[in-house]
């Protein structure tokens, strides 16, 4: 369990760092709009964008490792610490204070303490017992399809509502995708421990790949809109 918590926390930090690097590069790229594929082409020529991608991959690897040791109820809430690390513009609050030679504001300290206490309450209440049970692969596929549908609808609505509503809608879609990805990865890990589940593994792996791709597509968009 401590390994899972440590891996989840480091994963959250890497994810925050990746988001900070990618947002910085997206803001530097001018010209193409959010739906223009040339945006990804221009980002692909920037080394710091690829550094962000590298931290993303490291974050995902650590996340999978954490999910193999603990339940979703333990690992996923710890991902909230990524927001604390990143905090809006890709700058951790202590990091901002360090870089700008400022003292950390008391409300920020209180906010970080509140998030930490809240997470402790969640971890102490949510079940940490890992129960390996059989489950329907069809239900997993249906759930992944539902998540993709929600993302498609949210993206469609976001297209017609510019500004702050668009940012919120796209962030909701990305959050749904990341949550669903974690469920699929956990399902894959549970299936891998059971003998004779080759077909199911391929099926779930296929879904596991599709949802992150959708999330990756939506991510530069909502980063740019912030």
Partner 1 sequence: MNPVVAVLAGGMLLREPLPTTPIQLVVIASGVLLICGGIAQLVHSPAVLNPSPPPETEQSGALRPSREPARPERLHPIAYEVVAQPGQHLQIRSHRISPSDPALSSRRDRQAVH
Shortest distance, CB of residue 37 to partner 1, whole angstroms? 26
Q: Could you tell me which of 49, 14, 17, 43 has the C-alpha nearest to residue 29?
A: 43
Whichever of 36 and 202 has its CB closer to partner 1, that residue is 202
- DSSP string for residues in 84-101: HHHTTTT--HHHHHHHTT
How many Cβ atoms from other residues are within 10 Å of residue 14's Cβ?
Answer: 23
For the bound state, the minimum distance from the C-beta of residue 3 to partner 1, rounded and expressed in Å, comes to 19
Q: Which residue ranges make up the site for partner 1 (CB under 8 A)?
A: 71-73, 76-77, 79-80, 83-84, 87-89, 91, 93, 96-97, 100-103, 105, 107-108, 110-115, 117-122, 124-127, 129, 131, 133, 135, 139-140, 143, 147, 171-172, 175-176, 178-180, 182-183, 186-187, 190
Min dist. Cβ of residue 183 to partner 1 (A): 4
**Cβ nearer to partner 1, comparing 35 with 129:** 129
Cα gap 75→148, rounded to integer Å: 22
CB nearer to partner 1: pick between 53 and 143: 143
109 to 15, 77, 99, 160: CA distances (angstroms): 22, 20, 17, 38
């Amino acid at each position: 369990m401590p390994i899972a918590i440590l891996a989840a926390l480091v994963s959250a930090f890497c994810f925050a760092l990746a988001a900070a690097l990618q947002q910085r590069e997206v803001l530097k790229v001018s010209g193409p709009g959010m739906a223009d594929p040339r945006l990804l082409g221009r980002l692909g020529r920037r080394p710091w964008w690829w550094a962000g991608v590298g931290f993303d991959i490291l974050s995902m690897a650590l996340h999978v490792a954490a999910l193999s040791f603990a339940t979703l109820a333990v690992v996923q809430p710890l991902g909230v610490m990524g927001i604390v690390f990143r905090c809006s513009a890709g700058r951790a609050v202590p990091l901002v204070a360090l870089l700008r030679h400022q003292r950390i504001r008391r409300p920020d300290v209180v906010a970080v303490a509140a998030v930490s206490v809240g997470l402790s309450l969640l971890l102490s209440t949510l079940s940490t017992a890992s129960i390996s049970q059989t489950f329907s692969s069809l239900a997993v596929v249906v759930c992944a399809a539902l998540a993709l549908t929600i993302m498609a609808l949210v993206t469609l609505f976001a297209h017609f509502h510019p500004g702050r509503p668009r940012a919120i809608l796209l962030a909701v879609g990305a959050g749904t995708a990341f949550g669903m990805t974690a469920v699929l990865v956990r399902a894959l890990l549970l299936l891998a421990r059971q003998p004779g589940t080759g077909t199911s593994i391929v099926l779930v792996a296929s879904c596991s790949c599709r949802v992150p791709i959708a999330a990756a597509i939506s991510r530069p968009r909502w980063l740019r809109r912030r």
